[in-house]
């Protein structure tokens, strides 16, 4: 990947560990100057030191993505140290897993604030810069927990689906300024996913599969999407799973029924639903749909 994003400046949030760390290192190895954002200064500085030791350019930022003013400071760090901003990778995340009927307002808000509000805050802070220079790339992390479904993650799933809508809106609104916006649903074993239960034999088997999916495998796709080679790619949803790259579908009508005199609840029950029944989606979870072993 050497030189693929040479001369560009990238912000990577949640870059102290896991997927974010892999992305920051890959961006630097490919020629970008990197703002390594993480609320842990120790973790963020270690990534910066590793980049610098390898001859790259990086600076640490410990501001939270969850606040508008602190998100502005993340972008200002890029401007102050490197004079511009070309790529924003919204990777910062947290988990507060709980079955929906037991989830507290605090558990809901904590996840929405970091994932969804955080992606908006950092993107909005960078948008003015992108508009002025008429270029830029946003890469947001979504999840199959939202795209498909999962147990005990209503907060996380809602935030990740919200990010999909946010990304598409950014892509539409900022296309006139040559600004792109895409999503990636990453599969990887990280500190965040290590909280996944592994009590039953089935859960243990699932966790062992997850451990095979290295966090660093996500980075090449992120570097590509931030590069000029991806100039025509925007408004898309990708997934990276070990050595697989998937392009996800987006909601479109799959069946339509028409009744010239208009619908009543009785007619819907007698005509519409039977006609649509074979096209209804099963109530499935991510591991039931993406059910093959990592490649």
23-76 tens-digit pLDDT: 999 999 999 999 999 999 999 999 999 999 999 999 999 999 999 999 999 999
Q: Which residue do the tokens 């120790």 mark?
A: 42
CA proximity to 241, closest of 283, 284, 210, 285: 210
What is the secondary structure of 51-65 as a DSSP string? HHHTT-EEEEE---T
Its pTM stands at 0.92
The span from the CA of 64 to the CA of 119, in Å, is: 11
Q: What is the pLDDT of residue 75?
A: 98
Residues serving a catalytic function are: 156
Q: What contacts 214, CB < 8 A, 6 or more positions away?
A: 188, 189, 242
The span from the CA of 15 to the CA of 155, in Å, is: 22
Q: What is the pLDDT of residue 1?
A: 44
Q: How far apart are the first and last CA of the chain?
A: 21
The span from the CA of 63 to the CA of 49, in Å, is: 18
Percent of the chain with pLDDT over 70: 94
DSSP state of 281: P
The pLDDT tens digits of the residues spanning 172-209 come to 999 999 999 999 999 987 655 555 666 788 777 767 76
The pLDDT tens digits of the residues spanning 18-27 come to 999 999 999 9
The CATH class of 9-250 is: alpha beta
On the CB side of 144, CA atoms within 13 Å amount to 19
The pLDDT tens digits of the residues spanning 104-139 come to 999 999 999 999 999 999 999 999 999 999 999 999
What are the structural domain ranges in the chain?
A: 9-250
Q: What is the pLDDT of residue 247?
A: 98
Per the rule left: phi > 0, alpha: psi between -120 and 50, beta: everything else, 154 is alpha
Q: How confident is the model at residue 237 (pLDDT cuts 50, 70, 90)?
A: very high
The span from the CA of 58 to the CA of 104, in Å, is: 38
The span from the CA of 24 to the CA of 47, in Å, is: 8
């Amino acid at each position: 990947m050497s030189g693929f994003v040479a001369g560009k400046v990238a912000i990577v949030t949640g870059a102290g560990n896991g997927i974010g760390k892999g992305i920051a290192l890959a961006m630097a190895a490919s020629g970008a100057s990197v703002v390594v954002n993480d609320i842990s200064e120790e973790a963020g500085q270690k990534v910066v030191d590793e980049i610098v030791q390898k001859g790259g350019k990086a600076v640490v930022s410990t501001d939270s993505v969850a606040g508008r003013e602190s998100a502005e400071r993340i972008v200002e760090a890029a401007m102050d140290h490197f004079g511009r901003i070309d790529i924003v990778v919204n990777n910062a995340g947290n988990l507060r897993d709980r079955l929906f009927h037991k989830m507290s307002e605090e558990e809901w808000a904590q996840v929405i604030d970091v994932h969804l509000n955080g992606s908006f805050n950092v993107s909005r802070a960078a948008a003015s810069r992108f508009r002025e220079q008429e270029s830029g790339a946003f890469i947001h992390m979504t999840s199959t927990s939202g795209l498909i479904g999962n147990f005990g993650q209503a907060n996380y799933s809602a935030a990740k689906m919200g990010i999909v809508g946010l990304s598409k809106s950014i892509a539409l609104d900022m296309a006139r300024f040559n600004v792109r916006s895409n999503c990636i649903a990453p599969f990887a074993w990280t500190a965040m996913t290590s909280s996944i239960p592994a009590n039953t034999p089935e859960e243990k088997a699932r966790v062992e599969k997850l451990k095979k999916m290295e966090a660093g495998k996500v980075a090449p796709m992120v570097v590509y999407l931030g590069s000029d080679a991806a100039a025509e790619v925007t408004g898309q949803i990708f997934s990276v799973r070990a050595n697989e790259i998937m392009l996800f579908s987006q909601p479109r009508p799959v069946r339509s029924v028409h009744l010239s005199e208009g619908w009543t609840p009785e007619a819907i029950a007698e005509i519409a639903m039977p006609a649509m029944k074979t096209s209804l989606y099963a109530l499935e979870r991510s591991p039931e749909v993406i059910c093959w072993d990592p490649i």
